[in-house]
Amino acid sequence: MGELEQLRLQVATLERHLVETTAHAEIVEREAALQMSRAVDLGARLSAILSISAALLISRDIDAIVQLVVREAVNLFPGTSAAHLFMTDSEQDGLVLRAANNPAVILTRPSVGLAGKAILSPRAMLLVGPQLDAALSDMSADQIAALRDNLDTWPPLSALLAPLRVESQRFGALILYGGVHAHLYHPRDLPFVQALANLAAVAIDELSQRTRAANLQRDLTLTQSLHAEAQARLNAAQAQLLQSAKLAAVGELSASVAHEINNPLYAARNSLYLVEQDLDPDAPQRAFLTIAQQELGRIARIITRMRDFYRPARAELAATNINLLLRETLELVQTHLRHGHINASADLSVEIPSIIAHADQLRQVFLNIILNACDSMPNGGDLRVKTRLLHARNEAPITIGIDICDTGFGIPPEHRPHLFEPFYTTKAHGTGLGLAISAHIVTQHGGRIMVESELNQGTTFSVLLPTSNI
């Protein structure tokens, strides 16, 4: 081979190497440009995520949050055909569409399929080609029709799905559709769409927590107000009960004094009457007899008033609904029952007629027995109130039975005979007058109280009241 031929071969080899070097340089240049583009795109997306986070932090409305998320999703992923955000809805028991980038889309419609798949996923998903076709094929005809109405192009060739979640709690799902671009989305997009969904979930959760806290604070304020009101009513009722106890004690003394004075008083009045019969009409002593009879009559009237002080006055008696009286008493102690972890139930017979009675005094009887029942259940328990009619043999019903039952520690046998004695008590701060006065009031109404108790099983107080007038 000549030198000229060898020179030509060397030139050809150099040309081939030059072409290969140029091609490689172009590939490297394109790769560098692509990497630069991705770096720029990554920076832009990170900046967008930070901006979205700042905007979500100041949002105070869920609708504003979801609308912001779908709008920024379209900006974050250019070329997106549609963006839908679904949220759980307890009333519709499922997912409903809460926001879309297309204003014409009908919101609050049930989930169209992919949202259900997204919310159950642990993380964001990219569906392309056969995967998306399989997901769409699992949807019903109605769901397909609804989705087709919401998209500009059909069928979509790619989709990004991300659950809205905070730890184990899930709030909804974000769906992005790529339309006719099968390669619009890339696996590297998954962290960004999940970050966007997480930001939305955190903002929704924070707003929900704030709303829930405000509601709880309002409920707490209302509960405290109701508790204070109920406590004031209970304190007033207890003060009234104590006052009644004092009055009853005075009344009992008055009745006892009246009984002791009546006998000698009537003897004195009869003696004066006999003396008056033996006096002449013009006798000077007759004036003194008249004065003595007038004063004895005044004493008799004082004794009558003393006796009436201990007995319910007829003017205070009125038609009384026992069932209504019991409901009012239970309502009065609702806060006391709730704080004592006591479950109260009422079984009130509709056959109970109204009776003529002193309603306030009977309310004091029921209140005293119920409070005693609560005291016997310091660790909580059950309180049952029942009314019934007691039928006499071959006669119409004549007696109302009121049973107040507790599941407390019961009454020891040695205390039971003394329950209704004045000033007898087993409580450290008790007066010993509550049950004594209650028994007296019931007796004044023509009724009686019975007690059944078993240690560590509970106690039942039964108040029996006649349906006839006192």
**How many angstroms separate the Cα of 115 from the Cα of each of 5, 68, 93, 273?**
72, 19, 14, 107
**Burial class of residue 96 (count of CB atoms within 10 Å of its CB; 0-12, 13-18, 19+):** middle
At 364 the pLDDT is 84
The span from the CA of 93 to the CA of 21, in Å, is 65
**How open is the CA angle 403-364-244, to the nearest 5 degrees?**
145
Question: What single-letter DSSP state applies at residue 250?
Answer: H
* DSSP states along 103-129: TTS--SPBP-SHHHHHHTSSS-EEEET
φ, ψ of residue 358 in degrees (nearest 5): -95, 100
At 343 the pLDDT is 94
At 64 the pLDDT is 79
φ, ψ of residue 94 in degrees (nearest 5): 175, -160
The span from the CA of 375 to the CA of 74, in Å, is 67
At 38 the pLDDT is 42
Cβ-contact 108, 71 below 8 angstroms: no
Q: Judging by DSSP bridges, how do beta strands 158-166 and 448-454 pair with one another?
A: unpaired
Q: Detail the DSSP E strand segments found in 123-211.
A: 125-128, 158-166, 169-177
**Burial class of residue 244 (count of CB atoms within 10 Å of its CB; 0-12, 13-18, 19+):** buried
The span from the CA of 340 to the CA of 124, in Å, is 50
Question: What single-letter DSSP state applies at residue 409?
Answer: S
Question: What single-letter DSSP state applies at residue 405?
Answer: E
At 401 the pLDDT is 94
Domains of the chain: 33-210 (3.30.450.40), 230-316 (1.10.287), 318-466 (3.30.565.10)
At 270 the pLDDT is 78
At 35 the pLDDT is 42
Give pLDDT tens digits along the chain (470 positions). 566 677 667 666 766 666 666 655 555 454 444 444 444 355 566 666 666 666 666 666 777 778 777 887 888 788 788 888 888 877 766 787 887 777 656 666 666 577 778 888 888 888 887 777 777 777 777 767 767 776 777 777 888 888 888 887 888 888 888 876 667 788 888 888 888 888 878 877 887 788 888 888 888 888 888 888 888 888 777 766 665 666 666 666 666 777 677 778 777 877 877 777 877 878 887 788 888 888 787 777 667 655 655 555 555 788 899 999 999 999 888 888 888 899 999 999 998 999 999 888 898 899 889 998 998 999 999 999 999 988 766 555 589 999 999 999 898 888 888 787 766 677 755 556 678 778 888 888 889 999 999 998 999 999 999 987 54
**Burial class of residue 209 (count of CB atoms within 10 Å of its CB; 0-12, 13-18, 19+):** exposed
At 36 the pLDDT is 42
The span from the CA of 235 to the CA of 332, in Å, is 10
Encode 321-387 in three state secondary structure. CHHHHHHHHHHHCHHHHHHCCEEEEEEECCCCCCEEECHHHHHHHHHHHHHHHHHCCCCCEEEEEEE
User: Please, what is the angle between helix 190-278 and helix 3-57, to 10°?
Assistant: 10
Cβ-contact 409, 371 below 8 angstroms: no
